[in-house]
Chain A
């Protein structure tokens, strides 16, 4: 019988070993899924205990902070609507969005770095505090951008091409993140939260148009087509083309907005000659055209697998080569085909031209700072894409100066500065064209890149260029 008892003991030991292995499996394989499951109330409970960190702009202006209101912690946004589409909000009912969500761990101080600190705080019965964020954005510039948009649907992005630091990122219409949980009376007995009301708004105020807008780029895409042509077909610099006001490709007629006559590449960009750029696209062919767009960051996220870019960004979209017909390719070359972009995507493309061919990895977070002012983490500058060569970037830069000096973008002229830019009036199925402008200044040593889109407001040179001018001017004077 002793042998039987031993076998029983082995059997039982085996069961427990399976149990231990299973426990490890549960923690390491299932753990991350379970930790983030919406039914798991731990994250919310943990947050309630912690004083969430403050968010500052690059000059120390408070963008978001947590204050105690009658025993409850409340998140307030002193800048109101200005930063809402980017920073998002924190709500007990609706969780968090935008940068509040992306940098949640830093703001709560629950990243690995601060675990020990929190433990000591707990022992000492001190309230746990999260870390502060210093953003690259400038509250003044952001406010100006919002004012210039004047509640028209659209977006503005301004960034530093040498570092990739985003200076302003405005989207309109916005919403007030302070009142997201407030109840609104919709007649007797019908109450609804502001969040639910905004969610139904056809103007989509929760959409961050600057990073996630899906727009046809129109003529501003020509700077990319031009860079591609100059890279792959250098002799383009010598040739001229006689624009007759239209171009027939495989029986498909592409009409230009004017008869531009004899044009070379600078002149063609300055007057935004469709026929010229359609021919450049055809000369490139779909493979090189596609490769060139990829080098400007299309179809890619600036940070692979990073929560920030996964959550807030939609890269420009270009269809892969293969089934693209010649008329389609010609349309794509002038930004009017299957290509879609966000203002940030176009600002990054322009930054590639401005920064001698190198697109720096864009960023919003300057540094993470502990409550006692110690820098915990600083964003390191990183090259993202080599868009083109310094030579080609210089040629495109010159052509973009011609746009401002004698072409469609004259409204963006700033006395005392050389501005480079490109206008666009993107046709879309909804009605009037979207007004676009991308550009940078000073052209010889660019410090600020700007991209502007105003939905269905007509010509870029008339609507978007003046807005871009004001942003560039403000940014140049302040920096």
Chain B
């Protein structure tokens, strides 16, 4: 079982590598690019790094899920292909960040295999998370309209990307402990059983934190992800739809409040409703994105043959528009389906996890990635208001990439327990 899983993993990695080399090769042929040798070397190194990790796991007897790594490889390769085509400087940096991400996954899967202790530090997560959110408000720098970066000299770090993980860790440990009370409720209120303030406190707390993020960091996307992940996890823990509905209602009220008092929120919503009057200003980006997506047609303009560079920030938030322009609806839908496969694997290991903490952790992390993917794709296609967040594993961005690889590592260690148990341990 153990060896077959790793063999299957490498077979899938082989497919992903072929995809990667085809994409890089196409751009090599059709685009005028410099440093061709450098990029071919980088591509080779990355392919080898993914394979090496699989061999290392086999050697160390690691029994994690065999589908997650190949899927992440495909996402990473897609990102690198498009960054190579859009902006080579970013492609090179992304390559470095990908290696860093793989290193982190290696560390987690080698040294944190026994992750049970993670359930014991919930208040540390809360404190760290709040620090992570508050720091940029005072010492942060503004980038792309959101004030959520810290300048560390060598590079900028977006703390909210890591706070996401702390949030899931906190909620998983908190809910694993309190879910029964939350489910049943402790007091009766006009026929409804409701929990006491110590149990619903976190809900209001989360709401406040999300609004804080929204107002002070101007990070609508971050707020949306935090709050929706929170609601998803509360639902998983309690199965009480009333929490989810009242939570969503609270969020809408908060947004309505911000719509009235904060200009940057108002713009986002007005542009979403009708971008044409703002075509030269705040609506420019999303309209260029719509032009790009619709230019692709069914099969796309062909890799390297579209004009995705008309979209500002195409390498980060808008990379999905570039993908659909050049590889079409077929390519865009393909990427979405691959994400669905990733979420399927994630939720499946949550369903079969050994305990409630593990289930909530895996379910929460999967929901986090899933909601983030949905929110950004819906944003660049104007199905939802645009929010500045990254497409997991594909968009350019060091903080987001490293954070996502941490999530991959955590999912892998959770999946390993399940495999061990199924082998009769």
Contacts and interface: CB of A to CB of B under 8 A. Distances in A.
Interface of A: 1-9, 12-13, 15-16, 18-20, 22-24, 26-27, 30-31, 34-35, 37, 39-42, 45, 119, 122-123
22 contacts: A1-B237, A2-B351, A2-B352, A4-B239, A6-B347, A9-B347, A12-B367, A13-B343, A16-B340, A19-B336, A19-B374, A19-B377, A23-B381, A24-B329, A26-B290, A26-B293, A27-B293, A27-B294, A34-B291, A34-B294, A45-B307, A45-B310
A15 B374 contact: yes
B377 A30 contact: no
A1 B347 CA distance: 12
Contacts of A119: 302
Contacts of B291: 34-35, 37, 39-40, 42
Best-buried of A20, A23, A26, A34 by chain B (most CB within 10 Å)? A23
Interface string B79-112: 0000000000000000000000000000000000
Best-buried of A4, A34, A41, A123 by chain B (most CB within 10 Å)? A4
B296 interface: yes
Contacts of B22: none
Interface string B19-39: 000000000011000000000
B374 A16 contact: yes
Contacts of A15: 374
Contacts of B340: 13, 16
B348 to A, nearest CB: 8
Given A12-B371, A20-B336, A31-B297, A39 B287 contact: yes
Contact of A123 (B29, B295, B352, B356): B29
Interface string B134-175: 000000000000000000000000000000000000000000
A4 B232 CA distance: 10
B329 A42 contact: no
B294 A30 contact: yes
B370 A12 contact: yes
A33 to B, nearest CB: 8
B236 A1 contact: yes
B333 interface: yes
Contact of B294 (A3, A7, A31): A31
Contacts of A20: 333, 336
A7 B231 CA distance: 13
Interface in B245-298: 279, 287, 290-291, 293-298
Contacts of A31: 294, 297
Contacts of B360: 1
B363 A8 contact: yes
A45 B307 CA distance: 8
A83 B293 CA distance: 39
A5 B293 contact: no
Contacts of A13: 340, 343
Given A16-B339, A39-B287, A1 B356 contact: yes
Contacts of A35: 291, 294-295
B236 A4 contact: yes
Given A9-B343, A19-B377, A22-B381, A27 B307 contact: no
Contacts of B378: 19
Given A1-B236, A20-B336, A40-B291, 16 more contacts: A3-B239, A4-B235, A7-B235, A8-B235, A12-B367, A16-B374, A19-B381, A19-B383, A26-B381, A30-B294, A34-B295, A37-B291, A42-B295, A45-B310, A119-B302, A123-B29
A8 B294 contact: no
B351 A5 contact: yes
B310 A42 contact: yes
A6 B333 CA distance: 23
Contacts of B298: 27
Contacts of B74: none
Best-buried of A5, A16, A18 by chain B (most CB within 10 Å)? A5
A23 B332 contact: yes
A12 B295 CA distance: 28
A6 B310 contact: no
Contacts of A7: 235
A319 B312 CA distance: 53
B294 A9 contact: no
B209 to A, nearest CB: 22
Interface in B339-373: 339-340, 343-344, 347, 350-352, 356, 359-360, 363, 367, 370-371
A6 B374 CA distance: 18
Report whether over half of chain A's contact residues are helix, strand or loop; otherwise say mixed: helix
Nearest to B290: A34
Nearest to B26: A123
B399 interface: no
B53 to A, nearest CB: 27
A12 B237 contact: no
Given A5-B236, A41-B307, A27 B297 contact: yes
B290 A30 contact: yes
Contacts of B352: 2
B324 interface: yes
B347 A8 contact: yes
Best-buried of A16, A30, A123 by chain B (most CB within 10 Å)? A16
A87 to B, nearest CB: 28
A22 B383 contact: yes
Nearest to B305: A122
A119 B26 CA distance: 12
A212 to B, nearest CB: 30
The 10 tightest CB contacts between A and B, nearest first, are A31-B294, A34-B294, A9-B347, A40-B291, A2-B351, A4-B236, A12-B370, A4-B239, A5-B363, A5-B350
Given A9-B344, A30-B290, A31-B294, A16 B336 contact: yes
A305 B269 CA distance: 38
Contacts of B356: 1
Best-buried of B29, B239, B294, B329 by chain A (most CB within 10 Å)? B294
A232 B95 CA distance: 84
A42 to B, nearest CB: 5
Nearest to A29: B294
A378 B370 CA distance: 54
A238 B297 CA distance: 67
Nearest to A37: B291
A114 B239 CA distance: 58
Best-buried of A1, A4, A41 by chain B (most CB within 10 Å)? A1
Contacts of A23: 293, 324, 329, 332-333, 381
Contacts of B294: 26-27, 30-31, 34-35
A13 B347 CA distance: 11
Contacts of B383: 18-19, 22
Best-buried of A39, A45, A119 by chain B (most CB within 10 Å)? A39
A8 B367 contact: yes
Contacts of A24: 329
Contacts of A42: 291, 295, 306-307, 310
B142 to A, nearest CB: 27
A64 B236 CA distance: 69
Nearest to B371: A12
Interface string B372-401: 001001100101000000000000000000
Given A23-B324, A24-B329, A39 B279 contact: yes
Interface in B304-318: 305-307, 310
Nearest to B347: A9
Nearest to A41: B310
A19 B379 CA distance: 10
A3 B183 CA distance: 14
